[in-house]
Chains A and B, each alone.
Chain A
Amino acid sequence: MAKKILVVEDSAMTRSLIVSSLEEVGEFTIIEAANGFQALRKLPEVTPDLVITDINMPDINGLEVVRFVKQSENFKNIPVIIVTTEGRDVDKERGLRLGADRYLVKPFEPAQLRQFVKELLG
């Protein structure tokens, strides 16, 4: 089975950028969520193998998504990559403290994202 990656990002442009960077790596099934709400709905629906999330989103921020994943009995083993514009140390610290596995600051290098994905799904 192809590994499933849930991409949570409210900007359609950035989302398609993330998706196309991933599509070049190989056979993933990519599930897109345009906001935190959709992410919450899709998590139990698809139980992804990896979650990639933005932090700054209008309804539920990415940190809450990270906590939701990492503290749920069903999802806590799913690795999470945070991809965000916020280069702020405090956000990074919080993300990692909540259990995020990797942290990427926009504008990011697709190669770096692919590297993370390979490490976490390898």
Chain B
Amino acid sequence: MDQSLKDFVAEAEDILDNLDESISFLMDMDPDDHRKPDIINAIFRHAHSLKGLSGMFNLEKLAALSHKMENLLDSIRLDKVALSEQVVEILGQGVQCLVRMVRAVGEGRGDSSVDLGDYIKELELLESGEVKPQDDDLSAFVSIPVGITDMLSEYEEHRFRDNIRKGVPFYRVSCSFPLDTFDVQLEELGSIIRELGELLTTLPETDLGGNGNIGFTLYFTSRRAEGDVMKAVGQEGRKLEPVPYREGALPGGEMHPVGAEVPVRLEEDTFEEDLKGVSQTVRVDISKLDYLMNLVGELVILKSAFVSMAQRLRLLGDGVPSELIMDFEKNTSSMEKKLIDLRDGVMDIRMVPLGQLYNRLQRVSKKIARDLGKKVNLQFIGHETELDKMIMEEMVSPLLHIVRNSLDHGIEDSKVRRSLGKPDTGTIKISAYQQGNHVILEVEDDGKGIDLAQVKKEAVRRGDVKKDAEMSHDDILGLLFKPGFTTKEGVTEISGRGVGMDVVRRELEKVGGAVEIRTTKDRGTRVTLTLPITLAILQALLIRNGTRIFAVPMGTIQETIELSRKEIKTMQGQEVITLRDRTLPLIRLERVFDLQAVGEEEFRYVVIVSMANRNMGLVTGELIGKQDVVIKPLGDSFSRSIGLAGAAELGDQSTILVLDVAGLMVEAVRLGAMGKRAV
């Protein structure tokens, strides 16, 4: 089956599971349960999502049925249709029909192969007449400010009116939370309120409350004793007050119950079938996998502790029986092997084939090509290449940027191509393959290439470089990554590849990857993205500078050499060494990260790292050894540090910094170019 259809089935199954659960919940619910409106609203939202999803995949019959169900549910939540047992039954049957259709899609038969009989007509029968709109502002009934009504959706307004009609006591609570945690805190407050009654609306306050805080006013109703409500909700930092009814205000609202007998029909023998699921997949929240990965990481750290215990036992010598030491070592080593299997297994769950991304990319690219009137043959290679799900999601927009640039500015019109002896139809090749611990993603077109002279001219105009500056091919390409490198006048003349390339590079750096451009005039352009396979666990070389330990990702290391101080030269304020006829910039980590200096005599080695065909040397004091490290995000104090991928904990609970080599290169160039600090 087409991957996109598989995606559809997986997502649709999720929605159907939720729908089914909510409807069963509704069937068992006490008629006066205050949670009922929330449940009905949830069912409405599920039907709405399914309608949207099926529409996107042109599954017309499925979309039509979910649309009809959505209409009915909308009438129910607005109390235009009463929720009788019979209506709940009809809804339940609707879910079964939906399940059958989704399964038909999953089996390649298509949604239209399912016969719905008169079910749609039955649904339509249930929809009843409109309730006349109520014009009175809500503030006429309860003591709320005029104008609140304007901020409510039709559904929220209906819930206000319904509660007013039933005379349920209203409350208002005002609170203020920090911007970075308010959603969690509101969620907590919301669940307290839902225990007591019904949360009607959450209104954000316009003035931000200063100090990075944001204020909210929540309206809710509850039949519980006022003292209980005050006690449960009214805590420090929250202002809670009852909202009294206006004198003599208790408006009426007419319900339109459905009286018509509606026949129920569905063949009995399909029930068992309907209980079966469609596919063998389980959808898992990625945060659960992150949790597992963290656990594995902690086990890895524990394992190191065992290894060092074994060494210490051996050092004790005579006091310990040697077969005990051997047993200990043997078991530690078996544990290590199983641990590696476990780590690989968990990592494997996070991996998804790039084909998933290709399908999406292809749809959008074809559309862009059509809109631009370009004839292009899109080739995708490496559908099976696997990548961490999180990284893949991060790559969607950079890839789209690059492909769009190729389509828009790379591939020429058919006429131009013919005059150059190229085939009328342009080709864009997107390929992916694994290289060690990295996945390489390449987008290559056979278009006109990037006009370097134009790029330089534009950079001079922007004041990025001097007019007479000596610049190599690579230097000029580097200009394309300058923030906002594009101008309204320049876009069409230059091949326009500057558009968004700085954004692309930033997104790549976020996941510890790198981007590189190669271009030849009239032959085409190739953009190469180098991505780590996964984010969570990294094989690293630990190095020590003074008392500080850094982890260098193994995948980036070319070699390590001994430092010979007399070979260091300084070029334009930049320390360099020459290695096999290549000039290599040297990086002093202490200076990049503004750390306390280390005595020069301590430095004895250079670790040569490489990323996207660029090399540099990290000057270090000691090479400690290879180790798996579990990367954790840096705390606030470091979150802005370019060149750091995160922190990691060692077996002895000390924390070290994990280097992000791609970011480090950028930072080194920036510091070097600014001439502030020699790097």
Residues of A within 8 A of B (CB): 1-2, 11, 13-14, 17, 20, 23-24, 26-27, 29, 36-38, 40-41, 44, 55-56, 58-61, 63-65, 67-68, 71-74, 85-86, 88, 90-91, 94, 97-98, 107
Contact = CB atoms under 8 A, between A and B. Distances in A.
A67 B151 contact: yes
A27 B499 contact: yes
A41 B367 CA distance: 33
Interface stretch (B99-107, B175-183, B279-287, B590-598): B175-183
A40 B182 contact: yes
Given A24-B371, A27-B486, A98-B150, A64 B203 contact: yes
Interface in B363-409: 364, 367-368, 371, 400-401, 404
A11 B52 contact: yes
A20 B364 contact: yes
A60 B204 contact: yes
A118 B204 CA distance: 29
B154 interface: yes
B179 A14 contact: no
Given A1-B484, A24-B368, A56 B208 contact: no
B214 interface: yes
Contacts of A71: 206
Contacts of B153: 55-56, 61, 63, 86, 91
B206 A2 contact: no
Nearest to A39: B204
A61 B152 contact: yes
B49 interface: yes
Given A23-B400, A40-B182, A40-B204, A94 B150 contact: yes
B206 A37 contact: no
Contact of A14 (B52, B150, B208, B400): B52
B52 A13 contact: yes
Contacts, number: 90
B152 A63 contact: yes
A79 B446 CA distance: 41
Contact of A41 (B150, B155, B156, B182): B182
A20 B401 CA distance: 11
Contacts of A98: 150-151
B500 interface: yes
Contacts of A97: 150
A64 B204 contact: yes
Contacts of B182: 37, 40-41
Nearest to A29: B503
B314 to A, nearest CB: 55
Given A58-B45, A60-B202, A71-B206, 6 more contacts: A11-B52, A36-B204, A63-B150, A64-B202, A72-B206, A91-B153
Nearest to B204: A68
B672 interface: no
Contacts of A24: 368, 371, 404
Given A24-B368, A61-B156, A94 B151 contact: yes
Contact of A13 (B56, B154, B180, B486): B56
B150 A68 contact: no
Nearest to A72: B206
A108 B350 CA distance: 35
Given A11-B52, A41-B182, A23 B154 contact: no
Which one of A65, A67, A91 has the highest number of Cβ atoms from chain B below 10 Å of its Cβ? A67
A85 B486 CA distance: 36
Contacts of A38: 183
Nearest to A73: B207
Contact of B202 (A2, A14, A59, A88): A59
A72 B486 CA distance: 32
B599 interface: no
B13 to A, nearest CB: 16
B421 interface: no
Nearest to A20: B364
Contact of B151 (A41, A63, A85): A63
Contacts of B55: 107
Nearest to A38: B183
Closest 3 CB pairs of A and B: A37-B183, A71-B206, A61-B153
Nearest to A59: B202
Contacts of B52: 11, 13-14
Contacts of A26: 499
B634 interface: no
B299 interface: no
Interface string B180-208: 10110010000000000000011110111
Contacts of A72: 206-208
A99 B486 CA distance: 33
Contact of B179 (A2, A44, A94): A44
A92 B368 CA distance: 32
Contacts of A74: 208
A79 B53 CA distance: 29
Nearest to A68: B204
B147 to A, nearest CB: 9
A11 B49 contact: yes
Contacts of B45: 58
A59 B186 CA distance: 10
A36 B183 CA distance: 10
Contacts of B499: 26-27
B574 to A, nearest CB: 30
